[in-house]
Amino acid sequence: MTDVSVAVVDAKTPGNVGTIARAMKNFGLSDLLLVDPPELDPDGEAYGFAGQAREDILPNAREVTFDHLVENYHTVGCTAVTNEDEDSHVRYPFRTPAELAESLAGVQGDTVVVFGRERVGLTNDELARLDEICSIPASVDYPVLNLGQAATIVLYELRDLTLDETQLPETVHERASEREIEGLYDQFDQFVAAAGHPEEKHAKAGRLFRRVMGRAHPTGRETVTLRGILRRATNKLE
């Protein structure tokens, strides 16, 4: 797994720090660095928003300087607005969160993902000192994201770098048996006939239905439900 830390620069709202700590906990990160942080009262909103991250990530957060980030890490600055133009932005081009995850895969060394202020983000002077820029593609009509939202999206995309297989949920799609699916096809054929579809088009309709179901990979329960609906419809038509 790649070593990734998270830094929050000059956050004004303790709740956003707590939200970022919670996202870190969700996606397997633990090292939180704070530059000019607000007061994080254990009875305040930072800890209230942090969920289980109040137990380890927030208490162990370290206060550092911006210089410390630049001098000790491969730095990735996260910014909402890039203007996507080499003439109008200090750092161009930028990576999306998904592209960032791909570029960091297998890279040795310490990386820190740096998030800026709630209202104005990182300054151009700060961005100019960082190694690369990450931005989240969003609507041009309103591309600015809440600080906590932006951090959650970026850290989600990095999850394959920060979580091992034992920490990820097993996703299994249990496709219906071939016998169950063939029964569904037979029921569909009966429905088509009862609906009065032209006989010369029955075969084509059956092939289309097979193609749709072949892409869908229905589960056993879905297959049983569809067969029941088609059966009732066929009985009414007959």
Q: What is the CATH number of the domain that holds 12?
A: 3.40.1280.10
Do 49 and 119 sit in the same domain of this protein? Answer: yes
Do 96 and 56 sit in the same domain of this protein? Answer: yes
Do 10 and 117 sit in the same domain of this protein? Answer: yes
pLDDT in tens, 91-110: 556 889 999 999 888 777 89
Do 129 and 229 sit in the same domain of this protein? Answer: no
Phi and psi dihedrals of 50, rounded to 5? -85, -10
Do 28 and 121 sit in the same domain of this protein? Answer: yes
Query: What distance in Å separates the CA atoms of residue 222 and residue 207, rounded to the nearest whole number?
Result: 19
Do 155 and 82 sit in the same domain of this protein? Answer: yes
CB atoms within 10 A of CB 53: 27
Do 232 and 183 sit in the same domain of this protein? Answer: yes
Q: What is the mean pLDDT of residues 40-45?
A: 94
Percent of the chain with pLDDT over 70: 89
Last residue of a domain, one of 138, 167, 196: 167
Residue 202 covered by a domain: yes
Query: What distance in Å separates the CA atoms of residue 57 and residue 192, rounded to the nearest whole number?
Result: 60
Do 139 and 229 sit in the same domain of this protein? Answer: no
Do 59 and 141 sit in the same domain of this protein? Answer: yes
Q: Find how far residue 106's CA is from the centre of its chain.
A: 20
Query: What distance in Å separates the CA atoms of residue 115 and residue 37, rounded to the nearest whole number?
Result: 12
Q: What is the mean pLDDT of residues 106-132?
A: 88
23 contacts: CB under 8 Å, gap ≥ 6? 148, 151, 152, 155, 156
pLDDT in tens, 127-168: 889 988 998 888 878 877 889 999 999 999 998 888 875 555
pLDDT at position 162 is 84
Does the structure show a pLDDT above 50 at 183? yes
Instruction: Give the range among 68-72, 133-137, 183-187, 208-212 with minimum mean pLDDT.
Output: 133-137
Do 103 and 205 sit in the same domain of this protein? Answer: no
Query: What distance in Å separates the CA atoms of residue 172 and residue 44, rounded to the nearest whole number?
Result: 41
Do 18 and 79 sit in the same domain of this protein? Answer: yes
Phi and psi dihedrals of 34, rounded to 5? -120, 125
The chain-wide mean pLDDT, for the chain, equals: 88
pLDDT at position 193 is 94
Does the structure show a pLDDT above 50 at 82? no
Strands 62-63 and 32-35 turn out to be: parallel
pLDDT in tens, 194-236: 999 999 999 999 999 999 988 888 899 999 999 999 999 999 9
For residue 132, the enclosing domain spans 3-167
Does the structure show a pLDDT above 60 at 88? no
